[in-house]
Structure 1
């Protein structure tokens, strides 16, 4: 019995010792992202899932601690993509048939694959702005439980639209199978239904609300710009969302629809193609974020050149709207609008998210501004700055690294070599 007790005590001491082991990440450069500062030769110490210390120089701990040599790399906070559709991906004309040929489980399984690609690209946190069957809620929960690997997901579940609006899933269907969708399916008309749709999203487990305030590019509907909510409907959505502690993200291309939404108090405008100086002033007045998604604009414009890739009703919208978003971002940045990083991945391929950095710099943003848009500003947008978005002691250990200095060559952001999320390493330079 005495031997057994001693053995148990010895085993317990080993477990205790292992639990005290820390990870020391030696970074050649460090972008903390809480400012434009860049530090050199820094060691970040991780205890459990949090950043416990930031030390000058390359420091090692005790023998039981783990040391990760990133002395030729730049370490940054985990990247954040504020506009994705992680359970789907456009793959040509067949994608328009998937709503008839695939079940909820099929989209959920797709999401497992796409979530992993997103994480491996260095994006440890994403907003998912619309799915078909609330499958992104199940995906989020599975990731949070450690069942599968993927980014931390803040999901809007099913987007809210008006009848015939951009997120009405029956657009383009024969009238005999359209039915008459309502708030449960994310289709509303009037104030009462607007409130009910928000409350349904809360009931479904969504983290935030996504609405389609104007027409869109890829929906099988004529206009990509027209306003699609009335002022009282927008106010009902925003007020109800606030009651439930939810922010509101707004798909918008046309000026009138987005300005109605801004005045109603929404949190962010996505795409924002036809913004102008008046819109910028409104956004600054109402503290509204802009999420550009330049990648999506470029992608749809290129695919519009291919005959048969999009339905004929979609093709002219893609050709017209797509190329304009880069200039819109340039104008918004120059006007001083707050910008958060977003790609609309699911339109373009998941895992290619890093290309957005290149396009943001092409639009006139400095590399450090683009990186802060995908870290610090993303954390503000999802109201998580107390735990995420910067490298500071006490915050969750979400960290990524690229070889060399991305401030000298922003294309390096397309090749993330090291990924840590919540203190767990998912990717190393050797992998």
Structure 2
């Protein structure tokens, strides 16, 4: 589908008025989460001017001249959250596999308009979309103010190997595969170091912001293995080195230990899922400074759905039951080992808008609530390589969310966000339906 056609389709979604209101504000917060220290501060007044944080004043003060006061005295204010692993163009259902043959990129883009808004209203002001042709177009439409949604770092098409997780011809019968032909680097499928360079350059051509590789088999792909390694170390290094030429960082989907090891040795920035991560991998990740993005909620979701007859194809069902149930335990072990953890849900596997459930599952895994909140703020900004978000400080982006209660004492408070500001514009206020 052409960029023009996708852009036209997204424009159709802009007939309803947007939810944001832009002005200069003084937010009177009952508490403020300090993402640098991981501590909760008492009452603060956050002054927002021109989409940036102008001042952070102690206590509740009168709104400075030219600002509008917003009473959040019963709330905790936090830097806007970042979900580092979403797929905004899709959402799992028993029809997902046949929809890939029936629907076009435009259909998925239009669905993404709704999913993007749900994500923003849940308190996630930034996301990394790790696989979807529609994501760069959603990003552009949001940046142009045409639709409401989080700031997007878009991977575009994930890079796979032949038959691997993210090979677009998986599940096709032989006649159909013969008709469409074998996918290559343009379609994000590689089998050599040279292919790897071409695939990254194609993602650059298509406007991606980040590169994603599928370093092992996957749970939901129509293929037998969910954990076998699918790249050589040299292929991964070729991806990473070429990505650096364009200022890109590389995220690696990986369940199996050998594929994870190759990805870390190859220089990726993040390991996504990490199901069978062992002590050797944890030690290597600490040595290399590799981040871990667990996506516990997606693991829990697929494990639950695997119990339902007909939800997944029979080739997929045992993988979902076996692998999905393990991720939460792995996340707890990784944290205790000292692996750096950043926040991601794989939303699109589970429902969009429920992203904050990941906080609850992280705490259940033994990760402290403060660290969980840091994983979606300061840590996420580090993964993205940006310094102007993830903290509430003078000069930073005015990405601020608020919720009743104290998430450090009750992490479920994160699921009750009722104030959302992105770049100084208010998208949701207390008492307003999302």
- State the partner residue of 2:402: 401
Shift of 1:91: 1.4
Alignment of 1:138-149 (within 5 A): 138-149=137-148
Shift of 1:232: 1.4
- CA deviations 1:376-404 (Å, max 9, x no partner) are 000000011x2111101000100000101
Alignment of 1:342-357 (within 5 A): 342-357=344-359
Shift of 1:65: 2.0
Partners of 2:257 and 2:406 in 1: CA distance: 38
Partners of 2:366 and 2:39 in 1: CA distance: 19
- State the partner residue of 2:317: 315
1:229 is paired with a residue whose SS is coil
- CA deviations 1:70-97 (Å, max 9, x no partner) are 00000000010000001111111x1101
Shift of 1:104: 1.1
Partners of 1:62 and 1:238 in 2: CA distance: 48
1:395 is paired with a residue whose SS is coil
- State the partner residue of 1:410: 411
- CA deviations 1:126-156 (Å, max 9, x no partner) are 000001xx21101000000101000000010
- State the partner residue of 2:104: 103
- State the partner residue of 1:388: 389
Shift of 1:21: 6.8
Alignment of 1:351-390 (within 5 A): 351-384=353-386, 386-390=387-391
Partners of 2:74 and 2:109 in 1: CA distance: 38
Partners of 2:242 and 2:297 in 1: CA distance: 32
More off after superposition, 253-262 vs 231-240: 231-240
Partners of 2:40 and 2:407 in 1: CA distance: 11
- CA deviations 1:158-194 (Å, max 9, x no partner) are 0000000001011111112122001111001101111
- State the partner residue of 1:128: 129
- State the partner residue of 1:159: 158
- CA deviations 1:289-342 (Å, max 9, x no partner) are 000000011000011011111111000000100110011001000000000000
- CA deviations 1:46-77 (Å, max 9, x no partner) are 01100010001101224642000000000000
Matching residue within 196, 199, 213 for 1:197: 199
Matched, 1:294 2:299: no
Matched, 1:215 2:235: no
Partners of 1:234 and 1:160 in 2: CA distance: 10
CA RMSD of aligned residues (A): 1.0
Partners of 2:33 and 2:314 in 1: CA distance: 46
Give structure 2 stretches of 5+ with no counterpart: 1-21
Partners of 1:407 and 1:216 in 2: CA distance: 34
Would the aligned equivalents of 2:48 and 2:398 in 1 still touch at CA under 8 Å? yes
Matched, 1:304 2:306: yes
Would the aligned equivalents of 1:213 and 1:250 in 2 still touch at CA under 8 Å? yes
1:31 is paired with a residue whose SS is strand
Partners of 1:387 and 1:231 in 2: CA distance: 34
Shift of 1:244: 1.0
Give structure 1 stretches of 5+ with no counterpart: 1-19
Distance change >3 Å, CA 63–CA 260, structure 1 → 2: closer
- CA deviations 1:99-119 (Å, max 9, x no partner) are 111011101101101000000
Matching residue within 184, 187, 200 for 1:185: 187
1:226 is paired with a residue whose SS is coil
Matching residue within 54, 66, 69 for 2:68: 66
TM-score using structure 1 length:
0.93
Shift of 1:32: 2.4
1:171 is paired with a residue whose SS is coil
Would the aligned equivalents of 2:56 and 2:393 in 1 still touch at CA under 8 Å? yes
Would the aligned equivalents of 2:82 and 2:343 in 1 still touch at CA under 8 Å? yes
Partners of 1:406 and 1:315 in 2: CA distance: 35
- CA deviations 1:276-301 (Å, max 9, x no partner) are 11100000011000000000110000
Number of aligned residues: 408
